[in-house]
Chain A
């Protein structure tokens, strides 16, 4: 089991943000709290941007909040450092209550523990790249030469060396966002908060920047909270994804859980066009191996994606073995793999491996998804959060280029 037991970096419980007159009464009154958005506005003049959201962000993970525009995700991330004051609920950072912080303490939180990257970069146009990157340190009162030295290091780290003396106006969109990223990194924060950082960029640049984030995460293992409206981006980057709609979290789980067992029709509609074979792992599709199967055939890791297994099976013409730490834990054959791709996987529920809760939830989907949705809906905002994180390597693999054929392990 790979469950991480540390205290979460962020722990959010029953968080509400209501805009409008006398906003406090909405979360307090169960009747108002359950009203749909339009009715709430006509009755109280208030808009609930975030409704009763709970989740934990664990140390070292990339936690993605994903939703369409207006779903409240940007408001949510701003509530974390109280750039927007929450209406109700609790937020704890490393166990410390954020809503109870006084001004000095809050400033301390923003200066040292959580730094944010913005959609439209939020750079100061009158400063050079270097001074923009050093700005956070300047705010903290770090001396000029020291902050410049540190800024220079970060500028190199994000690949902007040689551009230190330019101004934001002279940079391309991707370069500007690198500056934004560098500015956040320069203060060496515990958590990086990204608010749709790449949605203003061209597709190719966006992919570069996503790779950059993956690389940084691999190198430093920094906790990240990433807001996006782009499902592919969420699946690519996220260790866990919270899917928001109308201010609520409708499903929270690993990319595999979201794609494999959508909590309701909304999520199912959302993930319909996702190439499942690139998200689902062979864990979902494998069955117990017979004695002869355990001995031969190509080997894949349990965390390898279905598309990698398909390649291996197609090359060898025989079912592939799923090998975990040298032990064969099951096999996948072409039927099972096709079933995943088609979305009709009759998954073997009784594989004897260390199947995770997520796998079971996925398994429960089976042909009719009612049971699965119920489970995930019950998981609602919090319970699903209990799902353990799969091995760190697996999500990263998704970010990589396709594996070479016949590889022995899905993880790098």
Chain B
């Protein structure tokens, strides 16, 4: 009998139950059925139970007070942090003075000549134009301040990153220890780094530089390690077969072979440093970022734009020049060129000094703040609301807030806290592994423990809304670009520019268009995350195995069938990566949106900094870290670790 019933049983099991996702969900449902009633009985209510909250503000305030009291007397500060702080201040000051000493003509000439050497005449002209525009906008001094801060921060980041990368590239144990740390650092919003640095160093240039270094060093470390590890095995074997010592192998083979990755690391470090150097104006970085920050605080779009344009120009120039250096072949005609370059720069600088034209001439500036503000006023009057048929931008923002953001936030806050945890666990487990699910749930629970459940859900609602919009727009654009060569060619330069711009800059146009509030923050986040999502989608669809596509075509599949049945399934890893990147990028900007009325966690950080209430800020910062961790893990595909390249 048994032999007969066994197959019969197997037939009765519905097909969907064999699916692994269903197994995961069933296991989770089982766990929930046991745990939820217990949790509900102990701590009823929808919001995170008070009994499970640890109030950190008292101890944090005490720590912060202690640090402030002892900053000038305790040996830890006198002999360690004090020296670091002084060194940073001195080097930034030194670089700043050198830049001023070169004069505007000298700096422009130096920039253009360097660009010429590494990237050719076109970029040299571009660099010169960019610098002159900075002067023309009357932003020469702030630009130099930002540049000085950047130079010091980038040098330190590269040194720290390269050393860490070297260690991770040469030692497996070091690599295993560092990799998760670097991975996590890369998904955290820039704002999360500000408060711990301020806690130790106080508001000012040292804190700004150090926050920048902490933010910008990870890509250098990751790419250095990647380059050292990715070297052609046979080349290394050949080098060893010739009897090279470990040092010879490193210096003559591994490092030169990793050149491309090293320069890419430099490029990424510079871009991240610029992004952070601008944001660090919130903690006393000064320079261009400070101008934008001040202007945004008084909703002076014209002034913000005046300082924002140099930031964008700086970003584009730095990105293009360093990227071109990475593509170059490394010809050995450098040395002669270097001397010529130095000589030319010195000549221009001396000339500038002799003619007494070191500072940018007052009369050469072009005030764009006024016209811009007039334009914004006109927009406020004519475009904000009451435009026939389409409505106005402010109306859109208001509608978005009432119809999307509010219901979403209220819905999240209405959900019982344990169901939020369950949702997080289910999503993370379905997309990734039980490990990522566990991390995600723990991170989410930590938010509750920190006592910032409500504002975190507010931030989360903004993130979800922004991610949804980003993915819809991004996938649509990405699919269109993948299918249409011409559209992609048109899109590429736009994406290039958008991807190089620091996060901060995105706030300026959205404030001009939508005013302040949560909707502009979401809009800025969408604009910021869109290019990456579009790019990853397009690349993923393009890289689908041509043979598979061809065979589908040869079977007579229509364009839509090819897309649905071949391209999208095969590009699944890329699409998941796009989601992951989109979430991480959106979170970063939604947090910064606290500066333009986004409220929630970002506002807590800003408020903590502005009021000197570091405890509130630190708790919010920790919640941001947890939220970032949670969102990254929820969207982290199971196989990402294996193939995670650049």
Contacts and interface: CB of A to CB of B under 8 A. Distances in A.
B275 to A, nearest CB: 31
Interface in A245-276: none
Contacts of B54: none
B5 interface: no
Contacts of B248: 139
Interface stretch (B38-46, B120-128, B239-247): B239-247
Please give me the 10 A-B residue pairs with the lowest Cβ-Cβ distance, nearest first: A122-B238, A111-B243, A110-B243, A116-B241, A136-B242, A122-B234, A107-B243, A126-B256, A122-B235, A139-B244
Nearest to B244: A139
A118 B234 contact: yes
Contacts of B241: 81, 83, 110, 115-116, 118, 193
Contacts of A139: 239, 242-245, 248, 252
15 contacts: A107-B243, A110-B241, A110-B242, A115-B241, A118-B241, A123-B235, A124-B253, A124-B256, A135-B252, A136-B243, A139-B243, A139-B245, A139-B252, A183-B238, A183-B242
Given A124-B257, A125-B257, A126-B330, A115 B242 contact: yes
B242 A111 contact: yes
A140 interface: yes
Contacts of A119: 234
A187 interface: yes
B545 interface: no
B506 to A, nearest CB: 39
Interface in B343-375: none
Chain B interface, DSSP helix/strand/loop, else mixed: helix
What interface size band does chain B fall in?
20 to 34
Interface in A113-132: 115-116, 118-127
Interface in B213-240: 232, 234-235, 237-240
Nearest to B248: A139
A122 B232 contact: yes
Contacts of A109: 243
Given A138-B252, A139-B248, A110 B240 contact: yes
Given A122-B237, A126-B330, A183-B238, 6 more contacts: A107-B243, A119-B234, A120-B232, A122-B234, A126-B256, A139-B242
Contacts of A183: 238, 242
A107 B242 CA distance: 8
B100 to A, nearest CB: 38
A108 interface: yes
Contacts of B256: 124, 126-127
B483 to A, nearest CB: 34
Nearest to A193: B241
B259 interface: yes
A139 B256 CA distance: 15
Interface string A82-119: 01000000000000000000000001111110011011
B243 A126 contact: no
Interface of A: 78, 81, 83, 107-112, 115-116, 118-127, 135-136, 138-140, 167, 180, 183, 187, 193
A118 B237 contact: yes
Nearest to A136: B242
A119 B235 CA distance: 11
B572 to A, nearest CB: 32
A195 to B, nearest CB: 9
B240 A135 contact: no
Nearest to B259: A126
Interface in B252-275: 252-253, 256-257, 259
Contacts of B257: 124-126
Interface string B428-456: 00000000000000000000000000000
Interface centre among A81, A122, A138, A183 (most CB of B within 10 A): A122
A118 B242 contact: no
Contacts of B235: 122-124
Given A124-B256, A126-B259, A107 B238 contact: no
A167 B330 CA distance: 12
A191 to B, nearest CB: 12
B168 to A, nearest CB: 22
A110 B245 CA distance: 11
B234 to A, nearest CB: 4
A123 B235 CA distance: 6
A338 B252 CA distance: 59
A123 B242 CA distance: 12
Contacts of B242: 110-111, 115, 135-136, 139, 183, 187
Given A125-B257, A126-B256, A135-B252, A120 B245 contact: no
Interface centre among B243, B245, B259, B330 (most CB of A within 10 A): B243
Nearest to B241: A116
A125 B238 CA distance: 13
A142 B243 CA distance: 13
Contacts of B330: 126
Contacts of A111: 242-243
B238 A118 contact: yes
A109 B241 CA distance: 9
Contacts of A138: 252
Given A108-B243, A115-B242, A139-B243, A124 B234 contact: no
B371 to A, nearest CB: 52
Contacts of A78: 237
A124 B252 contact: yes
Contacts of B244: 139
A140 B237 contact: no
Interface centre among A83, A108, A139, A183 (most CB of B within 10 A): A139
B263 to A, nearest CB: 13
A115 B234 CA distance: 14
Contacts of B245: 107, 139
A279 B646 CA distance: 54
Contacts of A120: 232, 234
A180 B242 CA distance: 12
Contacts of A108: 243
Contacts of A115: 241-242
A183 B245 CA distance: 17
B243 A116 contact: no
Contacts of A122: 232, 234-235, 237-239
A193 B235 CA distance: 16
Contacts of A83: 237, 240-241
A234 B256 CA distance: 37
A119 B126 CA distance: 46
Interface centre among B239, B240, B242, B330 (most CB of A within 10 A): B242
B331 to A, nearest CB: 10
A116 B238 contact: yes
Contact of B243 (A118, A121, A140, A193): A140
Contacts of A124: 235, 239, 252-253, 256-257
Nearest to A135: B242
A124 B256 CA distance: 9
A206 B240 CA distance: 26
A146 B320 CA distance: 41
